Amino acid sequence: MFSKVKSCVLRGIDGTEIVVEADISDGLPTFTMVGYLSSSVKEASERVRTALKNSGFTFPPKRITVNLSPADIKKDGAGFDLPIALAILLSSGLSPEVSLDETLVLGELGLNGDLKPIPGVLPMVFRAAENGIRSCIVPKENVEEAALVKGLSVIGAATLNEAVDYISGALKIKPVQNLCDRLYESPQEQKIDFSDIHGQETLKRGMEIAAAGFHNVLMTGAAGAGKSMLAKRLPTIMPRLSVEESIEVTKIYSTLGLLSERGALVTERPFRSPHHTVSSFALVGGGVNPRPGEVSLAHNGVLFLDELPEFGKNALEVLRQPIEDRKVTISRVNASYIFPADFMLVCAMNPCPCGHFPDRKRCRCTPVMIKKYQSRVSGPLLDRIDINMEVKPVKSDDIFAEGNGERSEIIRARVEDARMIQKRRYENDGIFFNSQLEGNLIKKYIRLDPEEEALLKQVFTEKELSARGTHRILKLSRTIADLSGSERIKREHLMEAIFYRNNGLSYEEVI
Amino acid sequence: MKEIMYEKDLMALWFDSQDEIDYKNKAKLMDNLGSLEACFYAEKEALNNLLADSTAVKVISDWIKKRDRAYLEDRYGTLRDMGVSITYPERGDYPRKLLTVPSPPFLLYMRGTFRQSLNDVGCTIGMVGSRTPDTYGREIASYFAKELAGDGINIVSGLASGVDGISHRSALSAGGYTVGVLGCGINVVYPHSNIRLYEDMAVHGCIISEYGPDLVPQSWRFPARNRIISGLSDGVLCVQAKKRSGSLITTNFALEQNRQVYAVPARAFDLNYEGTNNLIKSGAFCATSPEDIINDLREMRGESLMYGEKKKRRKQSAPKKEVTAEEKKILSCLNLEPCYIDDVIAQTGYGITQTISSLYVMEEKGLVKQVKRGWYIVADFTRGVTYR
Q: Is B228's Cβ below 8 Å from some Cβ in A?
A: no
Q: Are A355 and A463 members of one domain?
A: yes
Residues of chain B found within 8 Å of residue A389, distances taken between Cβ atoms:
373-374
Strand runs (DSSP E) across chain B, as ranges? 85-87, 108-112, 124-128, 154-157, 178-182, 206-209, 235-238, 260-263, 285-286, 339-340, 368-372, 375-378
Clarify whether residues B305 and B332 are in a common domain: no
Task: Please check whether residue B92 lies inside any domain of the structure.
Answer: no
Q: CB–CB of A139/A157 below 8 Å? A: yes
Given phi > 0 = left and psi -120 to 50 = alpha, else beta, which region is A93?
A: left
- Which residues in chain A have Cβ-Cβ distances shorter than 8 Å to B205? none
Last residue of a domain, one of A119, A149, A178: A178
Chain A, nearest residue to B166 by Cα: A511
Residue of A133, A132, A65 lying closest to A105 (CA atoms): A133
Rounded to the nearest angstrom, the minimum Cα separation between B369 and chain A is 13
Please indicate, yes or no, if residue A187 is contained in any of the structural domains.
no
Nearest to A201 among B165, B193, B342 (CB): B342
Cis, peptide link before residue A70, omega less than 30° from 0? yes
Å between B301 CA and nearest CA of chain A:
33
Residues B178 and B39 in one domain: no
pLDDT surpasses 60 at B306: no
A205 touches chain B (CB under 8 A): yes
Q: Are B214 and B128 within one domain?
A: yes
Minimal C-alpha gap between B356 and chain A (Å): 6
pLDDT at B239: 94
Residue B65 sits in the same domain as residue B205: no
Distance of residue A200 Cα from the nearest chain B Cα, in angstroms: 6
d(CA B225, CA B164) in angstroms, rounded, equals 13
Same domain, B281 and B347: no
- What CA–CA distance (Å, rounded) separates B15 from B37? 10
Of B191, B342, B356, the CB nearest to A392: B342
Please check whether residue A403 lies inside any domain of the structure.
Answer: yes
Residues B239 and B330 in one domain: no
B313 pLDDT above the threshold of 60: no
Q: From chain A, pick out residues whose CB is under 8 angstroms from the CB of B357.
A: 491-492, 495-496
Give the mutation candidate from B340, B358, B365 for the A interface (greatest A CB count, under 10 A): B340
Answer whether A390 sits within 8 Å of B357, measured CB to CB.
no
CATH number of B238's domain:
3.40.50.450
The reply to whether omega before B191 is within 30° of 0 (cis) is: yes
Q: What is the residue type of A420?
A: M
Is residue B181 domain-shared with residue B71, that is, in the same domain? no
For A365, the closest chain B residue by CA position comes to B132
What is the bridge-based pairing of β-strands A153-157 and A2-11?
unpaired
Statement to judge: residues A216 and A169 lie in one domain = no
Looking at the structure, do residues A398 and A496 belong to the same domain, yes or no?
A: yes
- pLDDT recorded at residue A397: 66
Which pLDDT score is estimated for B85?
93
Of the two residues A381 and B141, the one the predictor is more confident about is B141
- Tell me the pLDDT of chain B averaged across its residues: 89
User: How many Å lie between the alpha carbon of A275 and the closest alpha carbon of chain B?
Assistant: 27
Asked whether residue A173 falls in the same domain as residue A203, the answer is no
Q: Quick check: is A184 in a domain?
A: no
Closest CA to A182 of A257, A260, A264: A264
Q: Please state whether beta strands A115-116 and A327-331 pair in parallel, antiparallel, or not at all (unpaired).
A: unpaired
Residue in chain B lying closest to A201 (CA): B342
Tell which of B342, B371, B377 to mutate to test the A interface (max A CBs under 10 Å): B342
For residue B209, the distance in angstroms to the closest alpha carbon of chain A comes to: 20
Q: How far apart are CA B115 and CA B205, in angstroms?
A: 9
Cα-Cα-Cα-Cα dihedral of A228, A232, A238, A242, to 10°?
140
Beta carbon pairs, A and B, within 8 Å: 78
Q: Do B342 and A495 touch (CB under 8 A)?
A: no
Choosing from B260, B287, B315, the residue where a domain stops is B315
Domain enclosing residue A97, as ranges: 2-178
pLDDT bracket for residue B321 (50, 70, 90): confident
8 Å CB contact between B212 and B109: yes
Rounded Cα distance between A315 and A482, Å, is 34
Identify the domain boundary among B54, B79, B104.
Answer: B79
Query: According to the model, what pLDDT value does residue B129 have?
Result: 95
Query: Quick check: A492 and B353 CB within 8 A?
Result: yes
Residues A146 and A205 in one domain: no
**Do A23 and A118 lie in a common domain?**
yes
CB atoms within 10 A of CB A260: 13
Query: What stretches of A195-245 adopt beta strand conformation (E)?
Result: 217-221
What is the spatial distance between Cα A238 and Cα A209, in angstroms, rounded to a whole number? Answer: 10
- Disruptive mutation site among A499, A500, A508 for chain B (greatest number of B CBs within 10 Å): A499
Q: How many domains does chain A have?
A: 2
Chain A residue with Cα closest to B370:
A499
- For A358, the closest of B194, B360, B372 (CB atoms) is B372
Residue A58 Cα distances to A4, A49, A97, A222, angstroms: 19, 9, 20, 68
Q: Write the DSSP symbol of residue B117.
A: G
Tell whether B304 and B351 lie within a shared domain. no
CATH of the domain at A36: 3.30.230.10
Quickly count helices (H) and strands (E) in chain A.
Answer: 23, 18
Question: B344 to chain A nearest CA, in Å?
Answer: 11
**Is the Cβ pair A358, B161 closer than 8 Å?**
no
Q: Residues B145, B255: one domain?
A: yes
Report the pLDDT value the prediction gives residue A508, as an integer from 0 to 100. Answer: 47
Q: What is the residue range of B359's domain? A: 325-383
- CATH number at B358 reads 1.10.10.10
User: Does any domain span residue B11?
Assistant: yes
* B338 vs A contacts (CB less than 8 Å): 358
In a domain, A224, yes or no: yes
Residue A479 belongs to some domain of the structure: yes
Q: Which residue in B132, B134, B342 is closest to A200 by CB distance?
A: B342
Q: What is the count of structural domains for chain B?
A: 3
- Residue A5 has what pLDDT? 93
Beta-carbon contacts of A122 under 8 Å, excluding residues fewer than 6 positions away, are A145, A146, A148, A149, A247, A250, A251, A254, A259
Same domain, A124 and A213: no
A83 and A212 share a domain? no
Residue B306: CB partners within 8 Å, gap ≥ 6? B123, B152, B298
In a domain, B250, yes or no: yes
One domain, residues B262 and B221: yes
Distance from CA of B193 to the nearest CA of A (A): 7
A161 touches chain B (CB under 8 A): no
Check CB contact under 8 Å for B134 and A388. no
Query: Does A27 contact chain B (CB < 8 Å)?
Result: no
DSSP single-letter state for residue B302: T
Stretch B289-299: mean pLDDT, rounded?
A: 89
User: Scanning every residue of chain A, which has its alpha carbon at the shortest distance from the alpha carbon of B340?
Assistant: A392
* pLDDT at residue A505, as a whole number: 45
Q: ipTM surpassing 0.95, yes or no?
A: no
Domain end marker among A178, A213, A233? A178
Same domain as A113, residue A165: yes
Per CB-CB distance under 8 Å, the chain A contacts of B193 are 367, 371, 508, 510-511
Q: Is B69 in the same domain as B165?
A: no
Q: CB A202 to CB B197 under 8 A? A: no
Residue B86 lies in a domain: no
Examine the domain organization and report whether A138 and A86 are in the same domain: yes
Residue ranges of A 212-231 with Cβ closer than 8 A to chain B: 220
| Closest residue of chain B to A477, computed from CA coordinates | B353
Nearest residue of A to residue B138 by CA position? A509
Q: Does residue B383 have a pLDDT over 50?
A: yes
Of the three residues A131, A154, A178, the one that is the final residue of a domain is: A178
Q: Rounded to the nearest 5°, which phi and psi values hold at B375?
A: -110, 130
Distances (CA, A) of B46 to A387, B28, B33, B61: 72, 12, 9, 12
Does the structure show a pLDDT above 80 at B319? no
Per-residue pLDDT of chain A in tens (511 residues, 90 and over written 9):
889 999 999 988 889 999 999 999 999 999 999 999 998 899 999 999 999 999 999 888 999 999 999 988 889 888 999 999 999 999 988 776 777 888 999 999 999 999 999 999 999 999 999 999 999 999 999 999 999 998 889 999 999 999 999 998 888 999 988 888 888 887 777 788 888 887 788 889 999 999 999 999 999 888 778 888 889 999 999 988 888 889 999 999 999 988 876 678 888 899 999 999 999 999 999 888 889 999 999 999 999 999 999 999 888 889 988 998 889 999 888 788 999 999 999 999 988 888 887 777 778 887 778 888 888 888 888 888 899 888 887 776 666 666 567 888 899 999 999 999 999 999 888 888 999 888 888 888 988 889 899 988 888 888 777 788 889 999 999 999 999 999 999 999 999 999 998 766 444 454 4
A242 and A120 together in one domain: no
Please count the other Cβ atoms lying within 10 Å of the Cβ belonging to residue A40: 15
Separation in Å, CA of A505 to nearest CA in chain B: 9
- Spell out which residues of chain B touch residue A200, defining contact as CB-CB under 8 Å: 342
From residue B174, how far is each of B94, B111, B143, B147, B169 by CA, in Å?
A: 25, 21, 10, 8, 9
| The pLDDT of residue B327 | 93
The answer to whether residue A18 is domain-embedded is: yes
Contact A392 B353 (CB under 8 A): no
Residues B27 and B66 in one domain: yes
Contact B374 A493 (CB under 8 A): no
Residues A88 and A199 in one domain: no
Query: Is A34 part of a structural domain of the chain?
Result: yes
Cis geometry, peptide bond prior to residue A351 (ω within 30 degrees of 0): no
Domain presence at residue A508:
no
Q: Is A200 near chain B, with CB under 8 Å?
A: yes
| Contact state of B353 with A368 under an 8 Å Cβ cutoff | no
Q: Do B356 and A392 touch (CB under 8 A)?
A: no
Write out residues 258-317 of B within 8 Å (CB-CB) of A. Answer: 272
Of all residues in chain B, the percent with pLDDT exceeding 70 is 95
- The nearest CA of chain A is from the CA of B166 a distance in Å of 7
